[in-house]
C-alpha cells in the first residue's frame, strides 16, 4: 500500500480507505502511520462503546480489538458526502470468532482533509445483511426452539 507523503488534502474516499486499512493490519507501526496520516490530532470517535479522544486513544482501541480478533477484516462503502462530511456503511468480520457486525459511520473532515470526528452506529440493520428483518426473525425462531418452543412471555 502506498501512503500519501504529506500531500493534503487527501481525498475523503482515500482517507477512509487508509483509515479502514489501519483497522485491517496487525502491524502496529503501519497502523499508527495510517491513522496519523488521515486523522487530526484532536480526533474524537463516538460509538455505542464510548467516546475516544485523540489519535493515541484510537490506536489503543484498534490494538485491543485486533489482539482479541487478529483475523478481523472490515470494509466500507461511502453512501454520501457533502460539506466536509461523509456517511459510510461498514461491515466487520472476525475470522469466524464471532458473528460479523455492520454499521454506519459519519466522518467529519477539517479543511486539511483530515478526519476530526467519527460518529459510529452499530450494529444496524442494513438491507441484504444477516441483521436485516429475515435474519432477526430467523434468530428469534431459533431462540424459541432452544427455549422449548414457547414464545417469550408464554413460558
Q: Is the pLDDT of residue 100 over 80?
A: yes
For the chain, list the domains and their CATH numbers: 12-146 (3.10.450.50)
Residue 23 makes CB contacts below 8 A (sequence gap 6+) with 62, 65, 66, 72, 74, 92
pLDDT over 70, % of the chain? 73
For 85, the grid coordinates are 462530511
Give the pLDDT band of residue 120 (cuts 50, 70, 90): very high
Q: What was the pLDDT predicted at 142?
A: 54
Q: What is the pLDDT of residues 6-19, one digit of tens each?
A: 444 557 889 999 99
Mean pLDDT of 97-107: 93
Residue 123, pLDDT score: 72
- Over residues 95-113, mean pLDDT: 93
Quote the pTM value. 0.72
Residues 139, 142, 146, 151, CA torsion sign: positive
Amino acid at each position: 500500500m502506498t501512503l500519501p507523503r504529506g500531500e493534503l488534502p487527501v481525498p475523503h474516499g482515500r482517507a477512509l480507505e487508509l483509515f479502514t486499512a489501519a483497522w485491517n493490519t496487525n502491524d502496529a507501526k503501519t497502523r499508527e502511520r495510517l491513522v496519523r496520516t488521515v486523522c487530526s490530532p484532536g480526533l474524537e470517535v463516538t460509538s455505542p462503546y464510548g467516546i475516544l479522544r485523540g489519535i493515541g486513544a484510537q490506536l489503543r482501541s484498534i490494538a485491543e480489538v485486533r489482539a482479541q480478533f487478529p483475523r478481523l477484516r472490515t470494509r466500507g462503502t461511502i453512501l454520501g458526502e457533502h460539506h466536509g462530511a461523509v456517511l459510510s456503511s461498514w461491515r466487520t468480520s472476525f475470522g469466524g470468532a464471532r458473528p460479523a457486525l455492520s454499521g454506519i459511520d459519519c466522518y467529519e473532515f477539517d479543511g486539511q482533509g483530515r478526519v476530526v470526528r467519527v460518529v459510529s452506529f452499530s450494529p444496524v440493520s442494513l438491507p441484504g445483511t444477516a441483521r436485516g428483518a429475515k435474519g432477526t426473525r430467523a434468530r428469534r425462531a431459533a431462540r424459541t426452539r432452544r427455549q422449548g418452543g414457547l414464545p417469550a412471555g408464554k413460558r
